[in-house]
Chain A
């Protein structure tokens, strides 16, 4: 493969960022929007071409005679060579998961670009918005094509920055500003773990390159020389620390707190960054280094546990939210945790590493239907100007397109045949059951909760009771720029399940035939249908059953509504313990010791400066005397010291 297309994949969005970022102010908003969308359409075409050629051309550089897909470094140039060992490369690694991510990112990014044209039309800073979108697209693409973990780290931070910029897009809203700071600080804190992990790993193994790290894992393990720390091997520490970065970006407990607040950003941004692409970076990171994780059973177990707890927690919280974007946010956390668990239970000897394939499959289908749901939520918010379902209800008559596409999204995420979520979820559950029935049942329960809270939201928004406000302000479907992406994504969500995904992406890059496990499928399907039926019984028509349930268990409802007080816990720790306790002492030291030293330094300098003023008298005789005395004193002192 030539390097032109790969370079263009990175160059186009970056150029757009520069063009719109620098020249945007001078452009009419329509021009900025149109060139942003056109550039993205080009990018979409290029990404599709690259992915298509990778998967289907049968070229021996992409797939060898045994049918194993190859990892191809299209280019890999030295960028910074600090020392002989610390060499940072920038390159383009093409392999199945990368090609898949190219498709996902370019598709969703294009949909969001198009959708935003309608959604953001009347917002000030439209050009800036498109510039940031381009920056994000660039960073995310750079992340997935990284040839080495250092490049990934660089782009990892860049997506963090662009996420920060976009969450805080409405910078006049204090809530958006604090949400953007929260997102940045929490993920940045997690990235510290990742950096430490990278340092630990590469301290022992002399390469950042992913192929070096993953193709011969035995040599990586050997390079550690059996070193261990606090009872766990160094490799486990490194992998768990690297995973910490993934926990931050993918909003795993206990680092999930930023994602619900990130919904303060514009809704299309939530669809792109906080549902489909950036938040799955953690999953992608683990998948990218999966052969290494396989070497350390305990690291995989850690991932499984974190994922399983997060999935359940987020699902429960999602049942008790009022803001539809928050519901979707918690749903995203829960679904990403699903993918994490699926990676955690993947083993080469269990259906040839089914969990890995299933996780990637779900990443793909989830990106599509979750983007669809977010964009649908955006259309709802656009129509009623509120995020809360209490301002909605009975909208199916007013917004038919949104209604039908949203329903498809809900069916897909609930895992109803033949929508895409069914297939990927079924594979994940099979993988979990094959490792241990406990995880299988646990995650089936989460899947049931998913179906319940999604349909709770669906019924409350589209059925329930017509909101009386509609008389003054009749809601209507969104303009075409917003409806077209909804329809396209809905179509994708209908058919994506039938993609023979195992032929494209597996952990060892060999083809795997997907087959539905009837027992698992029947269980999960029936659980989902029961959950939907339950949701319908509660929320289809206005009644007081939900209120009665809430009153039956007020403490639980309140706790779940307040997200089990995680934010309060964080605030307590940061405000009371860190700021109030630890920082006070440090601040005192800073103010009274360091500052005082500096002040003393300054005042002594000033004092001396005033005192020696007389030396510069202006009379040349004095100058010469000083001169001569200086030379003599210099000689005399040296003489005295030496002789």
Chain B
């Protein structure tokens, strides 16, 4: 075997290396001397992020076509890294709390392992690699969800998560086995694509596709595979929730795109276009309808993220142009959602309050947090001139670019849902700025790390809609890797 091929896996190797460094440092440092671990990991991670941004993609396909390192994959990894970095910044204070101090190394290690898994999901061109990635991205997450040892909800959430995750893996495997049978015994994406193009539209394929959608849809929390989301988001520690809601979703969305558009692209219009059509409409609408009624901010964000996942999935309907818009959407979603979560996390860690009612009159005591929260809500709702507006516009235009009436209707439904989402996003803004009465949350100062995280999110929300740099970056990456064809 040619070991030099591992050289093309540089992003994975960097993350793996970082994992080992953190793991060793954590293991061999004394109890009570772990104060430096947080800045150490965060700074190293920042360096690795910069490195992944800067290293050019080799464009090589290695291990006989099991793994690819192209510009689009690398761009996606870089975007995920930004999300993880912001999560680290948010989590910095939480990991310093008394019950966490002995275990904070584990937090970073688990996150890094899951990130490694996501990298594999993104770059996989063979279902075996994909499953390894998916599982190593899923299972440690259960441990992360259960991280608050003393909280009953955290345990409940972890149990619910692991049970559903295992079940979804089973469904996914079942689906894959049908695909395996169909392709005549190969799990390579290329072989399956060939078999699908040449083969018939058998029932096996349909069930396989439906199970694949269900399996990956679990990670994306698409409706009706989403029911775990709210309970898990609510129960998990907030840093983990924000990680789950953005980074994990981003990776799954990218993998979903690669699998469905590149492997099953041939049967798009006869088979899975309609499956996804239904799933997207359900996801956006049901997510919205539930989000309207939530009183707990984390549950609220859970349903909001379900609905957002529906918007992300619109990119799947639009070919490679959709991939560029989808990556940009994910980036914007990362900064907007993490902006909101940063505020929720800061307030929760200082006061323990997560109810939406607690946010009444927040601007009187914490104007800056209120400001960030408002921006994040505006961006998530897609109000110009914030980034969320442009990401929605771009993903809608990419979907309508194919000039199909059905897809126009899909965009129309999505647009109507944007109006509904405006309602509940503005509920938060209303609570913060308009509701009368004394503020329920007293004034406090955020930590330095939280502030850096908030500033990054605000910059992302305000500038990256107006400055097209990130979109151009995604567009160029996709164009170089796959070419833009509608």
Please give the distance in Å from A605's CB to the nearest CB on chain B: 6
Expressed in whole angstroms, the Cα–Cα distance for A609 and B423 within the complex equals: 13
Expressed in whole angstroms, the Cα–Cα distance for A635 and B275 within the complex equals: 8
* B271 lies within 8 A of A642 (CB): yes
Expressed in whole angstroms, the Cα–Cα distance for A602 and B231 within the complex equals: 27
* B211 lies within 8 A of A608 (CB): no
Tell me whether B293 is interfacial, beta carbon within 8 Å. yes
Say whether chain B's binding surface is mostly helix, strand, loop, or mixed: helix
Tell me whether B278 is interfacial, beta carbon within 8 Å. yes
Tell me whether A622 is interfacial, beta carbon within 8 Å. yes
- Which residues in window 129-161 of B have CB below 8 A to A? 159-160
Tell me whether A618 is interfacial, beta carbon within 8 Å. yes
Expressed in whole angstroms, the Cα–Cα distance for A632 and B270 within the complex equals: 18
- Which residues in window 246-262 of B have CB below 8 A to A? none
* B160 lies within 8 A of A634 (CB): no
* A609 lies within 8 A of B228 (CB): no
Chain B contacts for A618, CB-based, 8 A: 231
* A627 lies within 8 A of B227 (CB): yes
Tell me whether B213 is interfacial, beta carbon within 8 Å. yes
Expressed in whole angstroms, the Cα–Cα distance for A288 and B332 within the complex equals: 48
* A622 lies within 8 A of B211 (CB): no
- Please give me the residue from chain A that is nearest to B168 by CB atom: A627
Tell me whether B469 is interfacial, beta carbon within 8 Å. no
Please pick, from A620, A628, A641, the residue contacting B160 in the complex, using a CB distance under 8 A.
Answer: A620
Please pick, from A610, A616, A629, A635, the residue contacting B211 in the complex, using a CB distance under 8 A.
Answer: A635
Tell me whether A3 is interfacial, beta carbon within 8 Å. no
Question: B202-229: contact bitstring with A at CB < 8 Å (1 yes, 0 no)?
Answer: 0100110111011000100001110110
* A613 lies within 8 A of B227 (CB): no
Stretch at the interface among B284-292, B321-329, B395-403: B284-292
* A630 lies within 8 A of B293 (CB): no
* A609 lies within 8 A of B289 (CB): yes
Expressed in whole angstroms, the Cα–Cα distance for A629 and B225 within the complex equals: 10
Tell me whether A639 is interfacial, beta carbon within 8 Å. yes
Please pick, from B206, B223, B224, B288, the residue contacting A638 in the complex, using a CB distance under 8 A.
Answer: B206
* A635 lies within 8 A of B206 (CB): yes
Chain A contacts for B207, CB-based, 8 A: 635, 639
- Please give me the residue from chain A that is nearest to B214 by CB atom: A631
Expressed in whole angstroms, the Cα–Cα distance for A634 and B274 within the complex equals: 9
Tell me whether A623 is interfacial, beta carbon within 8 Å. yes
- Please give me the residue from chain B that is nearest to A613 by CB atom: B293
Question: B179-203: contact bitstring with A at CB < 8 Å (1 yes, 0 no)?
Answer: 0000000000000000000000101
Please give the distance in Å from B268's CB to the nearest CB on chain A: 13
* A623 lies within 8 A of B290 (CB): no
* A642 lies within 8 A of B201 (CB): yes
Expressed in whole angstroms, the Cα–Cα distance for A605 and B224 within the complex equals: 19
Please pick, from B224, B274, B290, B293, the residue contacting A627 in the complex, using a CB distance under 8 A.
Answer: B224
Tell me whether B163 is interfacial, beta carbon within 8 Å. yes
Tell me whether B164 is interfacial, beta carbon within 8 Å. yes
Expressed in whole angstroms, the Cα–Cα distance for A634 and B163 within the complex equals: 22
- Please give me the residue from chain B that is nearest to A625 by CB atom: B227
Tell me whether A626 is interfacial, beta carbon within 8 Å. yes
- Please give me the residue from chain B that is nearest to A627 by CB atom: B225
Please give the distance in Å from B152's CB to the nearest CB on chain A: 13
Expressed in whole angstroms, the Cα–Cα distance for A641 and B171 within the complex equals: 23
* B210 lies within 8 A of A634 (CB): yes
Chain A contacts for B274, CB-based, 8 A: 638, 641
Chain B contacts for A613, CB-based, 8 A: 290, 293
Chain A contacts for B209, CB-based, 8 A: 635, 638
Tell me whether B279 is interfacial, beta carbon within 8 Å. yes
Chain B contacts for A547, CB-based, 8 A: none
Chain B contacts for A642, CB-based, 8 A: 201, 206, 270-271
Question: A484-499: contact bitstring with B at CB < 8 Å (1 yes, 0 no)?
Answer: 0000000000000000
Please give the distance in Å from B292's CB to the nearest CB on chain A: 5
Chain B contacts for A605, CB-based, 8 A: 288-289, 292, 420
Expressed in whole angstroms, the Cα–Cα distance for A639 and B272 within the complex equals: 11
Chain A contacts for B40, CB-based, 8 A: none
Number of A interface residues at 8 Å Cβ cutoff, please give it: 30
Please give the distance in Å from B277's CB to the nearest CB on chain A: 11
Expressed in whole angstroms, the Cα–Cα distance for A609 and B286 within the complex equals: 8
Please give the distance in Å from A113's CB to the nearest CB on chain B: 36
Chain A contacts for B214, CB-based, 8 A: 627, 630-631, 634
Question: B419-431: contact bitstring with A at CB < 8 Å (1 yes, 0 no)?
Answer: 0100100000000
Tell me whether B167 is interfacial, beta carbon within 8 Å. yes
Please pick, from B201, B211, B230, the residue contacting A631 in the complex, using a CB distance under 8 A.
Answer: B211
Expressed in whole angstroms, the Cα–Cα distance for A642 and B207 within the complex equals: 12
Please give the distance in Å from B443's CB to the nearest CB on chain A: 26
Please give the distance in Å from A631's CB to the nearest CB on chain B: 4
Tell me whether A230 is interfacial, beta carbon within 8 Å. no
* A620 lies within 8 A of B171 (CB): no
Q: Known: A624-B164, A626-B224, A627-B225. Contact between A638 and B289, CB under 8 A? A: no
Please give the distance in Å from A80's CB to the nearest CB on chain B: 14
Q: Known: A613-B293, A634-B278, A639-B203. Contact between A623 and B210, CB under 8 A? A: no
Q: Known: A623-B164, A641-B274. Contact between A612 and B218, CB under 8 A? A: no
Chain A contacts for B213, CB-based, 8 A: 631, 634
Chain B contacts for A641, CB-based, 8 A: 274
Q: Known: A635-B211, A641-B274. Contact between A615 and B227, CB under 8 A? A: yes
Which of A610, A624, A629, A637 has the most C-beta atoms of chain B within 10 angstroms of its own C-beta? A624
* B292 lies within 8 A of A616 (CB): no
Please give the distance in Å from B335's CB to the nearest CB on chain A: 28
Chain A contacts for B289, CB-based, 8 A: 605, 608-609, 612
Tell me whether A643 is interfacial, beta carbon within 8 Å. yes
Please pick, from B201, B210, B227, B286, the residue contacting A635 in the complex, using a CB distance under 8 A.
Answer: B210
- Which residues in window 570-618 of A have CB below 8 A to B? 602, 605-606, 608-610, 612-613, 615-616, 618
* B171 lies within 8 A of A606 (CB): no
- Please give me the residue from chain A that is nearest to B166 by CB atom: A624
Expressed in whole angstroms, the Cα–Cα distance for A430 and B290 within the complex equals: 81
Expressed in whole angstroms, the Cα–Cα distance for A639 and B271 within the complex equals: 9
Expressed in whole angstroms, the Cα–Cα distance for A100 and B167 within the complex equals: 83
- Please give me the residue from chain A that is nearest to B163 by CB atom: A620
* A623 lies within 8 A of B203 (CB): no
- Please give me the residue from chain A that is nearest to B292 by CB atom: A609
Which of A608, A635, A642 has the most C-beta atoms of chain B within 10 angstroms of its own C-beta? A635
Chain B contacts for A602, CB-based, 8 A: 423
* B286 lies within 8 A of A606 (CB): no
- Which residues in window 133-176 of A have CB below 8 A to B? none
Expressed in whole angstroms, the Cα–Cα distance for A179 and B160 within the complex equals: 67
Expressed in whole angstroms, the Cα–Cα distance for A627 and B290 within the complex equals: 17
* A626 lies within 8 A of B210 (CB): no
Chosen A-B contacts, 6 in total, with CB atoms closer than 8 Å, are: A606-B292, A616-B290, A630-B225, A634-B213, A642-B201, A642-B270
Top 7 closest pairs, chain A to chain B, by CB: A630-B224, A635-B210, A631-B214, A623-B227, A609-B289, A634-B210, A635-B207
Given contacts A638-B206, A643-B203, 19 further A-B contacts (CB under 8 A): A613-B290, A620-B159, A620-B160, A623-B227, A624-B163, A627-B164, A627-B167, A627-B168, A627-B218, A627-B224, A627-B227, A628-B167, A629-B224, A630-B223, A631-B171, A632-B210, A634-B275, A637-B278, A639-B203
Chain A residues near B (Cβ < 8 Å): 602, 605-606, 608-610, 612-613, 615-616, 618, 620, 622-624, 626-632, 634-635, 637-639, 641-643
